[in-house]
Amino acid sequence: MGLLMSVDVAVVGATGLVGEALVELLDECDFPLGNLHLLASGESAGKSVPFRGRNLRVRDLAGFDFSSVRLAFFAAGADVVREHAPRATAAGCSLVDLSGSVAGPLLLPALEAGAVAALTLPAQLRAPCAPAAEVAEVLAALSPLLDIQRLAVTACLSASQLGREGIQELARQTTELLNARPVEPRLIDRQYAFNMLGQVGAADASGHTAIERRLHDELGELFPQLKGQLQVSCLLAPVFFGDALNLSLRAVAPIDLEAVCAALENAEGIELVEDDYPTVIGDALGQERIYVGRVRKGLGDPCELNLWIASDNVRKGSALNAVNLGALLIKHYL
Amino acid sequence: MGLLMSVDVAVVGATGLVGEALVELLDECDFPLGNLHLLASGESAGKSVPFRGRNLRVRDLAGFDFSSVRLAFFAAGADVVREHAPRATAAGCSLVDLSGSVAGPLLLPALEAGAVAALTLPAQLRAPCAPAAEVAEVLAALSPLLDIQRLAVTACLSASQLGREGIQELARQTTELLNARPVEPRLIDRQYAFNMLGQVGAADASGHTAIERRLHDELGELFPQLKGQLQVSCLLAPVFFGDALNLSLRAVAPIDLEAVCAALENAEGIELVEDDYPTVIGDALGQERIYVGRVRKGLGDPCELNLWIASDNVRKGSALNAVNLGALLIKHYL
Ligand SMILES: NC(=O)c1ccc[n+]([C@@H]2O[C@H](COP(=O)([O-])OP(=O)(O)OC[C@H]3O[C@@H](n4cnc5c(N)ncnc54)[C@H](OP(=O)(O)O)[C@@H]3O)[C@@H](O)[C@H]2O)c1
Ligand SMILES: NC(=O)c1ccc[n+]([C@@H]2O[C@H](COP(=O)([O-])OP(=O)(O)OC[C@H]3O[C@@H](n4cnc5c(N)ncnc54)[C@H](OP(=O)(O)O)[C@@H]3O)[C@@H](O)[C@H]2O)c1
């Protein structure tokens, strides 16, 4: 991207977990960046964030004029995005949304870079949620090989799924417990420290949570051939960082395990771990690949394939895909 | 059982997590107990355990004469059971094994109390491992209703799955981390505190662990109609107690959710939680029922059913079933 014109960029939600990772990646990678504007709520306005040897001031999103940038990353909650994304679009600013709430196409850079060819400006692109992006990278590697009949994803998400406040809640509850004080639930309505939670946030009338719907629907959008065949459950593990995903699928024909491993080995965004299993803390944290291990057939069915994914949901699962989508937009359009 | 003759009983592994729970249940419940012998390794010999107002001395298993009891519970590791169970049988002592390693029939009291009618003495009964017992109670309630085509179980097990040493390992690692000391892995070869592990113990050449095989095979034994249709993954969550299980199944016909809930509601060993989700710490710990919640259909498939189980693996999943099998043996044979 070295020869591209540089583009002025805004990051909405720059003080959040994902926004902070976005800013780090924009700094580290070869992104054609002009001026960078950091936006958050009024409460954060005035904070300063070090960036390339200078201090950038965080500004209030509410007063920001989007006509001063050509591209904005929206890494805030869905309600904030729904309120402010239309302002960006009206000002001619293209955007990459990480909350799953704009109307534009859902794109995963690893999957379908070609699809950016059909956009009109200002563009609204949706980046998948982290678990969808992570599962999709595996499916992209495997779907040329396997005719998948059914896929069950059990996602053990972490406190970071709930943003910075989630991390704080787990830290506070853990400290209270270890000091033998009664646990006082705040963000989460029960003991979360040292307790597996079977649900992430509220469930709707049919019993599903927002993240389960998003994971299910985004996988169905990215792989239309799997619609109606995707089983999705999201759990909340008492860990601070990362996604830990268990995938169990059934193909129409017996699994060729060597071919599966070769396909995973060759996928750029995947680190295949053989004869051991990766974990978030030991392997994935801070990395730009997902870690896949425990690739194995079923115990009773030769058409069954199981595997395990450890990934840095914030950096790899969210921010990196968004930055790459932004770079694609710039390359082809801006 | 008040009118039954009381029977002298031995507990092998009485100082372990499961053995301790067995002794507690023998104390609390209406078990026709004569003398109780507590057995463990030579290292524990001489320790004393309070029981019904007296102190019982733990004795070395190696020197114990099984002809002095009619029934023994084997709650030690598989290697210990394989070495000493034949001595019990040779001495005419019936036994209930919790390690899954004797040759006798696998029985779950909730499921098939009738099957004890075909035993010869001295009997060797196998109690299922905790996750198998827990899933089996749900399947027992649902299988009259549903023609199950496929069942995927993702079991998030706890430190207690590794026995008393597992609990100590998680406690030690957690303390080290919170005191900002480097984590020194011992029982587990990596950071376990605040880290989801994708595997419980070593995997065999085909990639499966012993607990996955045991869960898979025992469910297939208890429900032969499900053989070849069971997908099983066991993960290790950084929590001290309990099993947290995610079940996803596909039936041949669309799910009648009301009928499913009614069947779960009516099952004696199950507490159905509606409009909320149970957890181990908040609900299941110390209880004699499994807690089932998040009963919901699929997002894209009317034949799909998902649910979540929280259970006290030591008390409810292991010790209670063993004690009930022992009581059945006494009632019908001893
Ligand atoms: N965490 C993940 O694993 C993950 C994965 C995929 C996608 N996402 C999505 O990424 C987005 C951000 O997640 P996160 O984990 O970074 O959350 P977070 O840590 O809670 O950060 C939220 C950000 O939004 C800002 N914000 C809140 N209210 C605002 C308002 N009224 N006006 C302007 N800014 C406001 C916050 O600013 P203040 O600091 O001023 O409050 C903060 O910068 C969410 O849509 C989430 O669904 C997250
Ligand atoms: N934990 C669970 O969730 C669970 C669930 C289902 C089934 N089980 C099964 O139950 C059994 C016990 O599990 P646990 O969790 O209670 O393990 P644990 O806490 O490690 O206890 C092991 C017990 O075995 C005794 N033992 C060890 N080596 C011995 C030897 N050479 N001779 C005599 N006794 C010996 C120990 O005595 P010392 O104290 O003297 O070492 C201790 O009493 C295992 O087979 C396990 O697979 C466990």
Percent of chain B scoring above 70 in pLDDT:
97
Is B155 in the same domain as B17?
Answer: no
Is A37 in the same domain as A170?
Answer: no
| Contact (CB<8Å) A233/B250 | no
Name the domain count of chain A.
2
Alpha-carbon gap, residue B309 to A170, rounded angstroms: 22
Is B195 in the same domain as B296?
Answer: yes
Confidence of residue B1 (pLDDT cuts 50, 70, 90): very low
pLDDT over threshold 50, residue B198: yes
Alpha-carbon gap, residue A26 to A21, rounded angstroms: 9
Amino acid at B240: F
In the predicted model, what is the mean pLDDT of residues A290-306? 97
Closest ligand by atom to B129 CA: 2
Residue to mutate (ligand 1; options A41, A214, A245, A280; most atoms within 8 A of CB): A41
Domain contains B179: yes
Alpha-carbon gap, residue A238 to A162, rounded angstroms: 12
* Least confident range of A70-79, A163-172, A179-188, A262-271: A179-188
Is A122 in the same domain as A209?
Answer: no
Alpha-carbon gap, residue B194 to B17, rounded angstroms: 23
Point out the residue among A191, A208, A235 whose CB comes nearest to the CB of B299.
A208
In the predicted model, what is the mean pLDDT of residues B230-238? 98
Q: Take residue A307 and report the two structure tokens written for it.
A: 């595997």
Is A59 in the same domain as A96?
Answer: yes
Q: How many residues does chain B have?
A: 334
Task: Tell me the chain B residues in contact with residue A250 when contact means C-beta distances shorter than 8 Å.
Answer: 150, 231
Give CA torsion, residues B106, B108, B112, B118, to 10 deg.
Answer: 40
Give CA torsion, residues A184, A190, A191, A197, to 10 deg.
Answer: -160
Query: How many angstroms separate the CA of residue A155 from the nearest CA in chain B?
Result: 10
Question: Residue A289: which residues within 8 A CB-CB, separation 6 or more?
Answer: A269, A270, A271, A316
Domain contains A1: no
Q: Tell the residue nearest (CA) to atom 41 of ligand 1.
A: A41
Domain contains A271: yes
Q: From the CA of B78, how far away is ligand 2's center (Å)?
A: 9
| Contact (CB<8Å) A191/B281 | yes
Tally of helices (H runs) and strands (E runs) in chain B: 8, 13
| Contact (CB<8Å) B237/A196 | yes
Amino acid at B120: T
**Taking a C-beta distance cutoff of 8 angstroms, is the pair A317, A243 a contact?**
yes
Q: Tell the residue nearest (CA) to atom 9 of ligand 2.
A: B99
Phi/psi for B95 (5° steps) reads -145, 155
Point out the residue among A233, A298, A299 whose CB comes nearest to the CB of B248.
A233
Alpha-carbon gap, residue B81 to B60, rounded angstroms: 14
Q: From the CA of B136, how far away is ligand 2's center (Å)?
A: 23
Domain that holds residue A184: 132-313
pLDDT recorded at residue A1: 42
Alpha-carbon gap, residue A327 to A9, rounded angstroms: 11
Looking up residue A257, the CATH number of its domain turns out to be 3.30.360.10
How are the residues of chain B apportioned to helix, strand and coil, as percentages rounded to the nearest 5? 40, 25, 35
Task: Tell me the chain A residues in contact with residue B206 when contact means C-beta distances shorter than 8 Å.
Answer: 296-297, 299
pLDDT recorded at residue B113: 53
Query: What ligand 2 atom has the least distance to the C-alpha of B160?
Result: 1
Task: Tell me the chain B residues in contact with residue A212 when contact means C-beta distances shorter than 8 Å.
Answer: 299
Report the residue of chain B nearest A167, measured CA to CA.
B194
Distances (CA, A) of A89 to A60, A83, B176: 18, 12, 50
In the predicted model, what is the mean pLDDT of residues B178-183? 90
Give the 3-state secondary structure of A100-115.
CCCCCCECCHHHHHHH
Domain contains A2: no
In the predicted model, what is the mean pLDDT of residues B92-99? 98
**Radius of gyration (C-alpha) of chain A in whole angstroms:** 20
Is A92 in the same domain as A151?
Answer: no
Point out the residue among B196, B230, B280 whose CB comes nearest to the CB of A156.
B196
Q: From the CA of B168, how far away is ligand 2's center (Å)?
A: 14
H or E element at residue B24 = helix B17-28
Percent of chain B scoring above 90 in pLDDT:
90
Q: Tell the residue nearest (CA) to atom 47 of ligand 2.
A: B99
Q: From the CA of B146, how far away is ligand 1's center (Å)?
A: 43
Where residue B118 falls (left for φ over 0; alpha for ψ -120 to 50; beta otherwise) is: alpha
Strands (E), chain B: 7-12, 33-40, 48-51, 54-60, 71-74, 94-97, 124-126, 148-157, 230-236, 243-251, 270-272, 290-297, 304-311
Point out the residue among A152, A195, A212 whose CB comes nearest to the CB of B239.
A195
pLDDT over threshold 70, residue B4: no
In the predicted model, what is the mean pLDDT of residues A86-94? 98
Domain contains B19: yes
Is A192 in the same domain as A322?
Answer: no
A306 lines ligand 1 (CB under 6 A): no
Is B122 in the same domain as B186?
Answer: no
Query: Cα A105 vs. chain centroid, distance in angstroms?
Result: 16
Q: Take residue A327 and report the two structure tokens written for it.
A: 């770079």
pLDDT over threshold 50, residue B168: yes
Is B110 in the same domain as B209?
Answer: no
Is B31 in the same domain as B71?
Answer: yes
Residue to mutate (ligand 2; options B12, B22, B25, B41; most atoms within 8 A of CB): B41
Task: Tell me the chain B residues in contact with residue A194 when contact means C-beta distances shorter than 8 Å.
Answer: 238-240, 281
In the predicted model, what is the mean pLDDT of residues B281-299? 97
How confident is the model over A106-137, as pLDDT tens digits? 999 877 655 666 788 999 999 999 999 999 99
**Radius of gyration (C-alpha) of chain B in whole angstroms:** 20
Q: Environment class of residue A2 by beta-carbon count within 10 Å: exposed (0-12), middle (13-18) or buried (19+)? A: exposed
> DSSP state, A194?
T
In the predicted model, what is the mean pLDDT of residues B243-270? 97
Confidence of residue A3 (pLDDT cuts 50, 70, 90): low
pLDDT recorded at residue B112: 64
Is B286 in the same domain as B174?
Answer: yes
Alpha-carbon gap, residue B98 to A7, rounded angstroms: 66
Looking up residue A49, the CATH number of its domain turns out to be 3.40.50.720
How confident is the model over B108-166, as pLDDT tens digits? 988 765 566 678 899 999 999 999 999 999 999 999 999 999 999 999 999 999 999 99
Query: How many angstroms separate the CA of residue A244 from the nearest CA in chain B?
Result: 7
A41 lines ligand 1 (CB under 6 A): yes
Give which of A66, A64, A117 is closest to A90, Cα–Cα.
A66
Alpha-carbon gap, residue A319 to A24, rounded angstroms: 9
Domain contains B2: no
Mean pLDDT, all residues of chain B: 95
Query: How many angstroms separate the CA of residue B293 from the nearest CA in chain A?
Result: 9
Domain contains B1: no
Distance in Å from the first CA to the final CA of chain A: 13
Point out the residue among B208, B235, B297 whose CB comes nearest to the CB of A296.
B208
Alpha-carbon gap, residue A310 to A134, rounded angstroms: 9
Q: From the CA of B322, how far away is ligand 2's center (Å)?
A: 14
Is B57 in the same domain as B115?
Answer: yes
Alpha-carbon gap, residue B161 to B312, rounded angstroms: 11
Alpha-carbon gap, residue A302 to A226, rounded angstroms: 20
Report the residue of chain B nearest A245, measured CA to CA.
B198
